[in-house]
Amino acid sequence: MAEQLDVELLQSLKAENPDYTVVAYINTTSELKTICDVCVTSSSAVKIVKNIDNNKILFIPDCNLGAWVEEQVPEKTFKFVHGGCPTHLRMSIADVERAKAAHPAAKLLVHPECLAEVSKAADYIGSTTGIIDYAKNSTDREFIIGTENSILQHLQYECPEKSFYPLLKRTAYANNMKLTTLMDVYNCVKGAGGEEIILPDDIRTKAKACIDTMLTLGE
């Protein structure tokens, strides 16, 4: 997702919409963050957008997450670019129908990066943390999970007495997220592996400003 929008395209979008605040999903490059106003995560996006002192929002790059935020903040005007999470875009309404037919008593919990028609069929829409908390606190015993499938392992560990089913079995994995393993992190900390990434000072400081604003508005 981070590669779906580059600096040149965003600069042109900003020129066309000079009175819009640019809200960037955290999964964007450092270079892109240098010309964004604020970053958000899926769990903080609604709160941060509400706290922005501007009623016009240019949300990048995930239009599905942005559209979900728009529903929660109807008092503001939104514009989007046509980006999205490849993992969540694989989940279709046909997958929902198959999963519900197989598990009719299960609640459907999905991430807001899913397609709108998938989200509309859900019993709960929320971030990864939100999905976990909902499942843990719910009195229901069965759940269909519409997000990256590794969350099912965490849920089963946290709630061994409940049953969890993937909305999409085979391809709902974020492969790029798995390029770095726990062993990679361990070896890096031990000084036996890893790669040092050095950002130019101008990119580092400008990108940090975007993240600092996220922390301020997210309180």
pTM: 0.86
Distance between CA atoms of residues 113 and 127, nearest Å? 9
User: Which of these ranges, 32-36, 61-65, 196-200, 211-215, has the smallest mean pLDDT?
Assistant: 196-200
Distance between CA atoms of residues 70 and 55, nearest Å? 11
Three-state SS annotation for 138-196: CCCCEEEEECCCHHHHHHHHHCCCCEEEECCCCCCCCHHHHCCCHHHHHHHHCCCCCCC
Average pLDDT over residues 14-42: 95
Query: Could you read off the pLDDT of 54-95 as tens digits, one per residue?
Result: 999 999 999 999 999 999 999 999 999 888 888 888 899 999
182 pLDDT tier (thresholds 50, 70, 90): confident
Distance between CA atoms of residues 62 and 141, nearest Å? 32
